[in-house]
Copies of this chain bind each other. A is one copy, B any other.
Amino acid sequence: MTASTLGVNPTRLLERIVSLGACGALPDGGVSRLALTDADAQGRAELLRQMRELDMEIRIDPIGNIFGIHAGVEDAVVMMGSHIDTVSTGGLYDGALGVIAGLEVVACLKDEGIRPRHPVVVAAFTNEEGARYAPDMLGSLVYSGAMDVDDAYRITGCDGSVLGEELRRIGHCGTQSGPRNIHAYVELHIEQGPVLEDQGLNIGIVTGVQGISWTEVTVEGRSAHAGTTPARLRHDAGLAAAYITMGLSDMVAAMGPAQLATVGALTLTPNLVNVVASRAVMTVDLRNPDNTALCAAEAMLAKLMGEAKARYGVNVSHRTLARFEPVPFTPALVDTIEATACQMGLSCMRLYSGAGHDAQMIAPVAPAAMIFVPSVAGISHNIREYTHPDDIMNGANLLLRVVTDQAGLA
């Protein structure tokens, strides 16, 4: 048996996905496994169960990242990974696929008695989504050394919880270190966008991750009676928020499709039908694969905040929730993945990732790249998120081949 004839076990791989998906399952399908909640703790327990079944050495680091290690003879490891936390109404595949497919790769190596030269590692990073704690990709950020773990512990979540306390509460504040010497990091993930399906392709060869800028904008106006306050005397925080929202939409139209802008969260105070809003708190998510363009979008947001202040007589303040520059993946590893996909007869294209991924935190410290498989209708962060089993197998088999080649034989 050589790497070229190895293949994952479809039934077993899908069963692994379903078992993890049962943790935090929602009544109408999909899952809610916000980072460090009880549901996440259940998912972590299921992951550890599957790792133990594969006789993997388990390490949990101080930020709760889980590493399962399949022994090799060298220090440098070949790492697969992603995350198992989800948004509050997420699907079965975002994150989970990269971790679960990694376990299936290890299972195949064991089945075939392949002893890798480089240890093969499966990593599940904490709080990738950022839906409970900002910034997103927090676990891999700390793992890479770009954030201090004590700073991470102090982060307050959108529900008022404190990250360090929740990590300890669920018993995943580990004392071990993850592997430090990475020969190659390969992350399999669903595309979470519509491009591969539109193009009718099997695989996306991800060349990098676009830059992300998250800002929380707070507009302070003055509450007033909706029936007695003339428009010219209002300080309407909700109207100012709408102005900024529309301005960002106009900016996207002007900058072209590479620029994205989203106002996903907006809360008005006091939020009553007959009271002009005194306060609006909104989030702005800006993304662009080009950092210069992303900076221009941030400048436009600043301009819109200034215009809203002048136009509506409100105060506008802001704070950065997250800021990541575009990250290119390692060209040699990207080339290798592309060549392997072609050898396997898989149709593929190179593309940028629109979403943030743990791989972008690894890329500055080790060779890293990603493999995308199609998402039906491009839907993700949604209970209707779905990837066809054939696409899952294509992605997992490509991962298996790449990792086996990278790991070598003992």
Contacts and interface: CB of A to CB of B under 8 A. Distances in A.
Contacts of A225: 192-193, 354-355, 378, 380-381
12 contacts: A130-B273, A212-B227, A223-B382, A224-B379, A228-B355, A228-B380, A229-B260, A231-B252, A231-B261, A264-B271, A264-B274, A265-B273
Contact of A192 (B191, B228, B231, B355): B228
Contact of A229 (B193, B274, B275): B193
A88 B273 CA distance: 12
Given A229-B260, A242-B246, 19 more contacts: A87-B274, A131-B273, A131-B274, A222-B379, A224-B380, A225-B381, A229-B354, A231-B252, A233-B378, A236-B262, A238-B245, A242-B242, A246-B246, A263-B277, A264-B271, A264-B275, A273-B321, A274-B381, A275-B381
B257 A231 contact: yes
Contacts of A212: 227
Contact of A382 (B224, B262, B273, B355): B224
Nearest to A244: B242
Interface in A190-214: 191-194, 210, 212, 214
Interface in A274-303: 274-278, 283, 285, 287
Contacts of A257: 230-232
A227 B239 contact: no
Contacts of A379: 222, 224
A335 to B, nearest CB: 24
A227 B242 CA distance: 21
Interface of A: 87-89, 129-131, 134, 136, 191-194, 210, 212, 214, 222-233, 236, 238-239, 241-243, 245-246, 249, 252-253, 257, 260-268, 270-278, 283, 285, 287, 321, 353-356, 378-382
Contacts of A268: 264-266
Q: Output the residue of A192, A246, A274, A354 with the most chain B CB within 10 A.
A: A274
B226 A260 contact: yes
Contacts of A232: 257
A285 B273 contact: yes
Q: What copy number does this chain have within its complex?
A: 2
B285 A274 contact: yes
Nearest to A243: B246
A264 B260 contact: no
A89 B253 contact: no
Contacts of A87: 270, 272, 274-275
A225 to B, nearest CB: 5
A264 B277 contact: yes
B193 A228 contact: yes
Nearest to A355: B227
B283 A273 contact: yes
Contacts of A210: 227
A224 B231 CA distance: 35
A69 B153 CA distance: 64
Contacts of A264: 226, 238, 268, 271-277
Nearest to A274: B285
A239 B261 CA distance: 11
Contacts of A228: 191-194, 353-355, 378, 380
A89 B222 CA distance: 13
A74 to B, nearest CB: 36
